[in-house]
């Protein structure tokens, strides 16, 4: 039976450390601050933002959620980001994605100051990651959370074959850079990888990270025995229940370790966000 990588339990551990750091900071008269900007009415985004706000409050992090209407213009959004760039109480700024289609995510990302870019999406931070820099800078929260999950089950990375399915800005691209920085041999598969070729890659993966949004794309015949599998999918099964990109109950029979959905990567994304808010606050404190 595979090890279940319990993201909820691990997130609780990470949050406990973050809470202790916040307590220490508050003794020095400093409170870390996180601002989340949510534009429009996307139902899933509203839930994720609520969870972020709730967790921040629990950990003693000052949290501001700015809810803007669907009709917000690019100019209005950039002005809002610039205002937060200047706000002394805010250490980390996150604009929740996806944005409504009329807004330009790239320009928004580039407007957030790199030193407040708690999501790690700014080209300066992403560039440092791709350079292989091991210094202290924010990294996309889902991939960074996944690295903590891999470490929690002592997954060897150096020289191992890692396959990332999906090349999004939020998961696939930064994930591949983190694995490469950890000396894995990295392959990225994506929507243009032919369906009959995908299993050739996935069957060779010692570490398989799947972030496609396709319900049960990965079946047991597509994984290598003994692999470590991380499921980033947030899909719905035929009954409408939350499920992942990996057929968990079949795949777990074959692999060494696997993360579930829900209760895997999702909670770790939020815990990593909180940790990185405190990292930035400590960094700002030193300036």
Ligand X SMILES: Nc1nc2c(c(=O)[nH]1)N[C@@H](CN(C=O)c1ccc(C(=O)N[C@@H](CCC(=O)O)C(=O)O)cc1)CN2
* Range in contact with ligand X (rule: CB under 6 A) among 13-21, 55-63, 156-164, 259-267: 259-267
Give CA–CA dist 241/178, Å, rounded: 31
Cβ proximity to ligand X: between 23 and 47 the closer is: 47
- Which residues are catalytic, by number? 52, 96, 119
Number of H helices, E strands in the chain: 10, 11
* Residue sitting closest to ligand X (CB): 266
User: Is the Cβ–Cβ distance between 249 and 216 less than 8 Å?
Assistant: no
Site for ligand X in 148-207 (CB under 6 A): 170
* DSSP β-bridge partners for residue 34: 63, 92
Which residue in the set 56, 141, 223, 257 belongs to the binding site for ligand X (CB under 6 A)? 141
* DSSP β-bridge partners for residue 229: 208, 258
* Residue partners of 11: CB distance under 8 A and separation at least 6: 145, 267, 268, 270, 271
Cβ proximity to ligand X: between 96 and 277 the closer is: 96
CB of 67 to ligand X, least distance (A): 15
Count of chain residues binding ligand X (CB under 6 A): 21
167 is in an annotated binding site: yes
Cis peptide before 98 (omega within 30 of 0): yes
63 is in an annotated binding site: no
168 is in an annotated binding site: yes
Please state, as a whole number, how many other Cβ atoms lie within 10 Å of the Cβ of residue 248.
20
Residue 269 within binding range of ligand X, rule CB under 6 A: yes
State whether residue 235 is helix, strand or coil. Answer: strand
Give CA–CA dist 100/245, Å, rounded: 25
CB of 199 to ligand X, least distance (A): 26
- Sketch the per residue contact string, 29 through 58, with ligand X: x for CB under 6 A, - otherwise: ------------------xx--x-------
Task: Give the interface with ligand X as residue ranges (CB under 6 A).
Answer: 47-48, 51, 94-97, 119, 141-142, 170, 234, 242, 261-264, 266-267, 269-270
């Amino acid at each position: 039976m595979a090890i279940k990588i319990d993201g909820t339990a691990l997130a609780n551990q990470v949050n406990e450390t973050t809470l202790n750091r916040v307590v220490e900071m508050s003794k020095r008269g400093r409170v870390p601050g996180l601002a989340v900007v949510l534009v429009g009415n996307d139902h899933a985004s509203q839930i994720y933002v609520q969870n972020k706000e709730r967790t921040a409050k629990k950990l003693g992090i000052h949290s501001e959620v700015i809810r803007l209407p669907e009709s917000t213009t690019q100019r209005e959004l950039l002005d809002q980001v610039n205002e937060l760039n200047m706000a002394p109480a805010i250490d980390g700024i996150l604009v929740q994605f996806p944005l409504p289609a009329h807004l330009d995510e790239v320009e928004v990302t580039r407007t957030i100051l790199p030193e407040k870019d708690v999501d790690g999406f700014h080209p300066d931070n992403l560039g440092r990651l791709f350079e292989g820099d091991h210094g202290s800078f924010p990294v996309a929260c889902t991939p960074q959370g996944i690295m903590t999950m891999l470490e929690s089950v002592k997954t060897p990375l150096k020289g191992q074959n890692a396959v990332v399915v999906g090349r999004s800005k939020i998961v696939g691209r930064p994930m591949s850079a983190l694995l490469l920085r950890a000396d894995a041999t990295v392959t990225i598969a994506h929507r243009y990888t032919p369906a009959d070729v995908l299993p050739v890659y996935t069957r060779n993966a010692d570490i398989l990270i799947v972030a496609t949004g396709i319900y049960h794309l990965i079946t047991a015949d597509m994984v290598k025995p003994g692999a470590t599998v991380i499921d980033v999918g947030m899909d719905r099964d035929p009954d409408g229940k939350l499920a992942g990109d990996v057929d968990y109950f079949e795949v777990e029979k074959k692999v060494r370790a696997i993360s579930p959905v829900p209760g895997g990567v999702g909670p770790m994304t939020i815990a990593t966000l909180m940790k990185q808010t405190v990292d930035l606050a400590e960094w700002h404190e030193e300036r």
